[in-house]
Amino acid sequence: MSKNLIKQGAEARVYTTPFLTRAAIAKERFRKTYRHPLLDKKLTDRRLVQEARCLVKCRNIGVDVPAVYFVDLENRTIYMEYIEGKTVNDLLADGAAITTEESDELAKKIGEALAKMHAAEMIHGDLTTSNLMIRDVNKSLAIIDFGLSFITSCSVEDKAVDLYVLEKTFLSTHPHAHHLFLTILKVYGESYNNAKSVLRKLDEGK
């Protein structure tokens, strides 16, 4: 099988690989040898299942995410759709030409997607601009890497933390685009019924 390593993270290796006639991503979680093998298996299984469930749930409520193809618990691997596109991180990088109109459009898509996701009680857990992509094919905003995602029980705090992580990314990596983050919050506030309390919590944290 021709697997190509594209990313080595803290929790997993990510490969591109052909999968049953399609181009796919295979995300293989590491064995953690410092843990008891049985405990490691249990925790890793739970993570894999949680990630797959969140991805499928997002897709079902109309949030664009990679489609899940296959969950291989034995090999600690999730196979999912390979998305052709650019990360928001790349789009906002220094020197990248993005017009005000484009950045408004982008912020709107991000704000709406996060609103939908949070309304369904899903927390991404690692919302950075590298985990937001624009698809080449239809310019849809896709959220990727649900490795730290979970379903919450109406926690305002968890949602505020999601937004806080995103704000941190904007402050540190895209300081020139802070207006974009403000637009994201504005759209989020307009699209999600419970946004007020989340935004209040976000303010309190500062």
Partner 1 sequence: MYSSSLEPFPSHGLVHISLYRNVKNAKELRKRLLSRDTELCYAFIDARVILDKFQVLVASNIAIYNETHNKLITHNVHSEVVYSLSPSTNIRESLKNHGLSDDSTDVIIVKIGDSAETVQAHLARIIKGEERDVKEITSCVDLARVKKCYKIVDGISDREELLKAVIGSIAIKNLS
Please report, as ranges, the residues that interact with partner 1 according to CB under 8 A: 1, 17-22, 48-49, 52-53, 55-56, 59-62, 67-74, 79, 81
> Two tokens at 32?
């953690």
How far is the C-alpha of 121 from the C-alpha of 155, rounded, in Å? 8
How far is the C-alpha of 26 from the C-alpha of 18, rounded, in Å? 9
Q: Which residue type does 126 have? A: D
Residue among 62 and 205 whose Cβ is closer to partner 1: 62
| CA 83, chain centre distance (Å) | 13
Residue among 80 and 161 whose Cβ is closer to partner 1: 80
CB of 146 to partner 1, least distance (A): 12
Q: Could you list the active site residues?
A: 126
CB of 63 to partner 1, least distance (A): 12
Residue 114: closest CA among 129, 98, 102, 92: 129
Instruction: Considering only the C-alpha atoms of the chain, give the largest distance between any 2 of them, rounded to a whole number of Å.
Output: 53
CB of 190 to partner 1, least distance (A): 20
Residue among 42 and 200 whose Cβ is closer to partner 1: 42
